[in-house]
């Protein structure tokens, strides 16, 4: 019996079949042995040890331990506090067992989906397990957070990995302590765990010996068929990007084209997932002549490409191509995340040359100042970057899965443990979800570019300092940028914290507007007006601090897209006849979404 023939779920609880169960377990054992042998062979061939501390986690916790042991009175006090909370929980549990109404000692935070099943509240044992975990988790996190004497980077690292440890040990992640999994195990005779084991082994095999958790049914989506379907043509191509021009859908269009610059950490079609939530399709319907950059998924041949190559062969090449395609001398530009950082650098480069080809700039969750760069800063210090550079030097690029794993760790309960429960404990197949399909479609990054980006932006915060960065022989001074700018960020963004992006308008030298969306880094941006979700805040003033801005801001229902529509409308120029892709001086090279976007980092 092969791994692919594992038992499948049934609407009715199946009877216990010991023969089928034994066959499935034997198949799993055979596959496990094969994968373990392959892993051991790879380790021996590479000369790597099983354990290493390239991230400096062990060193950080040794420093933490030494500081904690230096204050034994504080340890004793915290132990007493923990004991008191457990005694209270024990008393409340006995009172509940005797039928008395009692309030919970510890409750999950709002929005914690791990304990939403009714069994966590209705069954006394599972309720006790849940509260016991919450008490220990909060006690541990508070004690780690309150240790004094650690430098900022070590403190961030300890805090982050403590939360990873706490999340990993949640009772929801184990079959015997999760009421939903327990019920499923009883009702299926344990076959959910057997199916889950097969899913686990399949994911290890798919990751070539490393666990690569399946987040969605990848076969449910096809580029150009049910995602990335906005009609258009590739009108320009070079080593780093394809430029897509979209078909007009209005009788007249704005004279000034719109250039959208996505990040190259992920693929551009986050802006064009489905018809109902596609920012690109919506912008076309608003009368814009829309161009988007589709970055290449680089291999070792592009290892030498630098950040300035992304400027010259990316944004600058796109501006030249747009002028050829439409005759327009300038554009309105939109930069998302890292694409916004590149847009800022491009504006500085153009300003030094007194070039006004970008008439206005929109920054979507984009960092210009990296002072407080969010939780990604946990992974960025000299030791970790040097280690990463050594790895990239071996193959010429950063593997897409490595960056994807880093981002997933930032939201481990949503992007790791929820799938462990669904796929491996419940034995279910992942649900088809377009956003998670995009999230799993990772991209590589050239070694030289990524090293430059980490050191100059995250570590040295050089982009905000006049002349600290030189690109293409031009010192970059963002204070000389006079083009009007629109900054939009998300209040729950853990990648580009909004209080840090708020520094952007003050760094640039032109008039600016700042808008704050609800939700996070993705959902806060990909939020069409028709969804009427999340809301947003506006404030016509730009006080010195983000807190003062929010205090004076007005909250609105719906999407920030409507506010941006009003802002960009006054900068889009007069109405002209629609421009059809391929009908100008640039001929069509192929249909959207193009060829570069189809290259997968996993080779599938």
Active site residues: 337
Contact in structure between 149 and 67 (CB atoms under 8 Å): yes
Structure tokens at 40: 């051991």
3-state secondary structure of 421: helix
Q: Which residues contact 573 (CB under 8 A, 6 or more apart)?
A: 254, 255, 256
How far apart are the C-alpha atoms of 451 and 456, rounded to whole Å?
8
Structure tokens at 328: 């327009």
Please state, in angstroms and as integers, the Cα–Cα distance from residue 13 to each residue in 10, 16, 302, 392, 576, following that order. Answer: 7, 9, 54, 50, 64
Contact in structure between 144 and 63 (CB atoms under 8 Å): no
Q: At what angle do helices 18-46 and 191-206 cross, to 10 degrees?
A: 30
Residues β-bridged to residue 537:
516, 555
**Nearest partner of 173 among 217, 137, 218, 123, judged by Cα:** 137
User: Is the preceding peptide bond at 368 cis, omega within 30 degrees of 0?
Assistant: no
3-state secondary structure of 282: helix
How far apart are the C-alpha atoms of 477 and 467, rounded to whole Å?
6
Task: State the DSSP string of 329-396.
Answer: S-EEEEEETHHHHHHHHHHHHHHHTT---EEEEEEES--S--TT-GGGGGG-SHHHHHHHHHHHHHHS
Q: How many residues does the chain have?
A: 604
**Nearest partner of 604 among 412, 401, 433, judged by Cα:** 401
DSSP label at 270?
G
Q: How many CB atoms lie within 10 A of CB 77?
A: 11
Radius of gyration of the chain (CA): 27
Q: At what angle do helices 179-188 and 191-206 cross, to 10 degrees?
A: 110
């Amino acid at each position: 019996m092969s791994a692919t023939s594992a038992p499948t779920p049934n609407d009715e609880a199946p009877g216990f079949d010991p023969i089928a169960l034994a066959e499935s377990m034997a198949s799993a054992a055979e596959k496990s042995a094969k994968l373990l042998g392959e892993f051991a062979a790879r380790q021996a061939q590479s000369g790597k040890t099983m354990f290493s501390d390239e991230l400096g986690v062990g060193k950080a916790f040794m420093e933490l331990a030494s500081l904690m042991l230096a204050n034994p009175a504080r340890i004793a006090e915290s132990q007493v506090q923990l004991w008191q909370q457990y005694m209270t929980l024990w008393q409340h549990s006995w009172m509940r067992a005797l039928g008395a109404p009692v309030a919970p000692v510890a409750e999950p935070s709002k929005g914690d989906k791990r304990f939403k099943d009714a069994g966590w509240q209705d069954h006394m044992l599972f309720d006790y397990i849940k509260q016991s975990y919450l008490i220990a988790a909060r006690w541990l996190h508070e004690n780690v957070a309150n240790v004094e004497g650690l430098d900022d980077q070590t403190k961030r690292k300890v805090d982050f990995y403590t939360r990873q440890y706490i999340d990993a040990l949640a009772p929801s992640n184990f079959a015997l302590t999760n009421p939903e999994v327990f019920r499923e195990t009883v009702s299926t005779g344990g076959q959910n765990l057997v199916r889950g084991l097969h899913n686990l082994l399949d994911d290890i095999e798919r990751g070539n010996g490393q666990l690569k958790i399946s987040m969605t049914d990848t076969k449910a989506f096809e580029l150009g068929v049910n995602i990335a379907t906005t009609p258009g043509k590739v009108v320009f191509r070079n080593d780093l990007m394809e430029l897509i021009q979209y078909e007009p859908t209005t009788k007249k269009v704005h004279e000034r084209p719109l250039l959208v610059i996505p990040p190259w950490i992920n693929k551009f079609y986050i802006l064009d997932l489905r018809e109902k939530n596609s920012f690109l399709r919506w912008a076309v319907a608003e009368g814009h002549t829309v161009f988007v950059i589709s970055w290449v998924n680089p291999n070792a041949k592009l290892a030498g490409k630098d950040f300035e190559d992304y400027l010259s062969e990316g944004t600058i090449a796109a501006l030249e191509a747009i002028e050829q395609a439409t005759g327009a001398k300038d554009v309105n530009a939109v930069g998302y995340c890292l694409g916004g950082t590149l847009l800022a650098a491009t504006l500085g480069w153009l300003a030094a040359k007194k070039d006004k080809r970008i008439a206005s700039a929109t920054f979507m969750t984009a960092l210009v100042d990296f002072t407080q760069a969010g939780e990604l800063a946990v992974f960025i210090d000299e030791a970790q970057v040097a280690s990463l550079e050594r790895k990239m030097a071996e193959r010429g690029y950063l593997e897409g899965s490595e960056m994807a794993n880093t981002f997933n760790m930032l939201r481990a309960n949503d992007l790791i443990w929820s799938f462990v429960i669904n796929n491996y404990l419940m034995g279910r197949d992942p649900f088809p979800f377009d956003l998670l399909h995009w999230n799993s479609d990772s991209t590589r990054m050239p070694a030289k570019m990524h090293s430059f980006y980490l050191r100059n932006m995250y570590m040295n915060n050089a982009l905000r300092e006049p002349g600290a960065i030189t690109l293409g022989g031009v010192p970059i001074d963002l204070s000389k940028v006079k083009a009007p700018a629109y900054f939009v960020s998300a209040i729950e963004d853990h990648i580009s914290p909004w209080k840090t992006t708020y520094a952007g308008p003050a760094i640039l030298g032109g008039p600016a507007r700042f808008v704050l969306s609800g939700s996070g880094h993705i959902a806060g941006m990909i939020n069409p007006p028709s969804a009427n979700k999340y809301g947003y805040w506006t404030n016509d003033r730009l006080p010195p601090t983000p807190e003062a801005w929010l205090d004076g801001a007005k909250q609105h229902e719906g999407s920030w897209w409507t506010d941006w529509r009003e802002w960009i409308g006054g900068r889009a120029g007069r109405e002209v006849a629609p421009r059809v892709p391929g009908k100008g001086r640039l001929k069509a090279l192929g249909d959207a979404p193009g060829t570069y976007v189809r290259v997968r980092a996993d080779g599938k």
